[in-house]
Structure 1
Amino acid sequence: MVVAPDSFKGSLDAAAVCAAVEEGVRRARPDAEVLRVPMADGGEGTLDCFLGALGGTEVWLECADPLGRPVRARYGLSGDGRSAVVELAAASGLPLVAEDERDPLRADTSGTGALIADAVRRGAREVLVCLGGSATSDGGTGLLRALGVRFLDAGGRELPPGGGPLARLADIDDSGVPEAVRATRLRVACDVTNPMVGPDGAAAVFGPQKGATPEQVRELDAALGRLADVIAARFGVRVHDLPGAGAAGGACGGLVGVLGAGTAPGGDLVADLVGLDAAVAGADLVITGEGRLDAQSAAGKVVSVVAGRAARAGAPVVALAGAVAGPLAELHARGLTAAFSIADGPRTLAEMTADAGRLLADAAEQAVRLRLG
């Protein structure tokens, strides 16, 4: 039996979800052989999956938070030092900024760039940048600045940090990017398909949760559009409507357009990293899950990835979630056998969060009894 869930954000990380589910499994089948495979979708939690699957080292660095204040953040370095995983949320995440401090026009990703630069300095030549949970809408310009890129106005002056000033962008100077950075294979993992700009873009969809007013959303969308225009003119890469370019306030678009980073669905990257295909081969049951399961979960989220790969291996797949909201037809088409909420009656979100471990164990027990007897 394989347990391969995402985290239940705000409650349990993926490893803790695995432990709770296994507890329930063993109530129903004490002799079960349980393989834990914590998963992530390319956002928060991916670093822990990397370290758990491949070992390696946590590296801590003092860098800048989204408002330029000192913060200690970590990334992962493989045992041979050739590969690294950087989570943007570690240095540039929304939880680092109190609600009354959020400044979507000024917040930037320079701290994430410092983590990447440090990994390259230590010898990493393949860096996976995991996007999600950002406090920023700067198109990744802060990150790129930390790697030697300059963003200039019409007078050749460097623009100040943040997404707002990009409205005045006239040119991008990448002549200062070190050869070691150019020689590094950058990959971007993201869990959304939003483009850089427009009604489904970075500012329109994610700006409000970062504190942007309707007027600031319009300002940021125009500024990111200007960045995309200059990238197209300077590097010949169109990121305006590139799926996923809007991830992390447009950071995906900036990395792809300026440094030629490759992109991939985060869930599939993690699945390959942790060896999910080999794990589910021959399994009599696969249990996955995430905090909320709905129609959007089919768009590359962990449950979708696990269901698809388990189905190809001929294994039934059960998903457990804090909330299950249909329609789930696309998930079923991808291979999901059934989905169950862990709620045991009317509860507030705070109550569910506090009791998630017990609720997961109880639900897992019942799922196993139903499937295997």
Structure 2
Amino acid sequence: MKDKRLKLLFASDSFKGSLSSAETAVILEKAAKEVYGSCDCSSISVADGGEGTVEAVVSAVNGRIISAPVHDPLMKPITGSYGVIDGKKAVIEMASASGLPLVPVHLRNPLTTTTFGTGELILHAIDSGYTDISIAIGGSATNDGGMGCMRALGVRFLDSFGNELEGFGRDLEKVYDIDTSGIDKRLHDCRVTVMCDVRNPLCGDNGATNTFAEQKGADEQTRRRLESGMQIYREIIKRCTGVDCDAVEGAGAAGGLGAALMVFCNGEMRSGIDTVLDLIDFDRRLEGVDLVVTGEGRADWQSAYGKVMSGVGMRAKKNGIPAVGLCGSLGKGAMDICSFGIDSLMTTVNAPMTLDDALDNAEALYYEAAVRMFRLIQVGMRIGSTQNYK
């Protein structure tokens, strides 16, 4: 049979604190050519719908970044941004306007934060002519039920006296009625996709407040107050729209922003990694590929649930392509990923070392591990392949 060149596709998540997705691709290509000599290597930046999603998508499809004046979670003016591709698609990270890192540690309190800036990003995208809007809703500083975001889009939340509420977390307990008559009518012509990999309902033990509010700065008293307010908000939504947000998986994401986007913007909840892979046309890039290499900084049981490796692995498996993961470290349950299209895992750590040592030497460790990995794959090719690669 005629020899053919080995075709490799690299699609790793970033290794937080050390290597970017693009940097792993450069190192993998160098290692592959050292082992195989002649081979075809291509790469694509990927993310799972969390931090870095806009950057990854824009990089993968030669999109561009748009800046927009917005307000941060404390309603201070800042410059936010989002990505645009294909002339009509916008990709937004709510963290760009409403993320926890935007709030100084000593000011973190979900009673006093809002998603208003995220609504401003959506509005800017609509004003700019984008009708297909994907929104990554991880990393929020907020627990306002998405009221701030919706207020920026024209929804009015009213107290028992008919006064309009500002849309902070503290306003949940005051909601008495919702007026949607002023919502931006252009939303009806938009496709809104919500990148969400958590299944939390709006309220309850596993709801938005009880699961996430503490990490956003809520003490126990604040948490109880927010949960009580969220229950009031839930009932008002149910009365005004007929939707029970506690029956919707993901409604509690981003402090309830998931619920608001679904109820008021007809948003479709989708896996973050699957949305990203569709945006970057990943299936087409798999055509003719012999091996996919993916990975992340640390693999554990969570890697199998909506993370980059599981998404990439399942797409590779669907197309009959073997896939391997090269990771910084392996934790409990890491090998669960093998049920999601990843054939095996390797780690870059080659000896006992501190995390600081691993981070400081990340590039050298990754390269050495990549060479080991490709050599092992080469052995497998010699044993079982029916083709001769040169």
TM-score class normalised by the smaller sequence: over 0.9
What is the TM-score when the length of structure 2 is the normalising length? 0.89
Unaligned 5+ runs, structure 1: none
The structure-2 alpha-carbon separation of the partners of 1:175 and 1:24, relative to structure 1 and needing over 3 Å to count, comes to same
Q: Name the structure 2 match of 1:64.
A: 71
- The answer to whether the Cα contact below 8 Å between 1:196 and 1:239 also exists between their aligned partners in 2 is yes
TM-score (norm 1): 0.93
Look up the match of 1:314. Answer: 320
User: Could you tell me how far 1:283 is from its partner in structure 2?
Assistant: 2.5
| 2:148 and 2:166 in contact (8 A); partners too | no
Question: Which runs of structure 2 are paired with 1:1-373 in the superposition (5 Å)?
Answer: 1-80=8-87, 82-328=88-334, 330-373=336-379
Structure 2: runs of 5 or more not aligned: 1-7, 380-390
CA distance in 2, matches of 1:31, 1:333: 32
Query: Cα 1:95–1:277, aligned 2, differ >3 Å: closer, same or farther?
Result: same
Q: Would the alpha carbon gap of residues 317 and 61 (structure 1) be closer, same or farther in structure 2, given more than 3 Å must change?
A: same
Q: Is 1:154–1:171's contact at 8 Å kept on the other side of the alignment?
A: yes
8 Å CA contact retained: 1:25, 1:361: no
State the SS of the aligned residue for 2:246: coil
- Bigger CA drift: 359-368 or 105-114? 359-368
The answer to whether the 8 Å contact 2:46/2:276 transfers is yes
Aligned equivalents of 1:103 and 1:268: distance in 2? 32
Conserved? CA contact 1:94–1:134, under 8 Å: yes
- CA deviations over 1:233-282 (Å, ceiling 9, x no partner): 21122222422222222211111012211111111111112222232344
SS of the residue corresponding to residue 67 of structure 2 reads: strand
Q: How far did residue 329 of structure 1 move?
A: 5.2
User: What do the CA deviations read for 1:123-172 (whole angstroms, capped 9, x no partner)?
Assistant: 11111111111111112211111111111111111223322320221111
Q: What does the per-residue CA deviation read over 1:274-304, in whole Å, with 9 as the maximum and x for residues that have no partner? A: 2222323442221111222111221121111
* Count of residue pairs brought into register by the alignment: 372
Shift of the 242–339 alpha-carbon distance from structure 1 to 2, 3 Å rule, reads: same
- The one-letter code sitting in structure 2 at the alignment partner of 1:294 is D
**Higher Rg:** 2
Q: 1:159 to 1:14 in 2, by over 3 A?
A: same
Q: Provide the aligned C-alpha RMSD in A.
A: 2.0
- The verdict on how the C-alpha distance between 1:29 and 1:250 changes in structure 2, with shifts beyond 3 A counting, is farther
Contact 1:18 1:36 in 2 (8 A): yes
CA deviations 1:62-84 (Å, max 9, x no partner) are 2111111122111122352x221
Counterpart contact for 1:159–1:166, Cα < 8 Å: no
Task: Name the CA distance, whole Å, in 1 between partners of 2:301 and 2:312.
Answer: 15
CA distance in 1, matches of 2:210, 2:306: 21
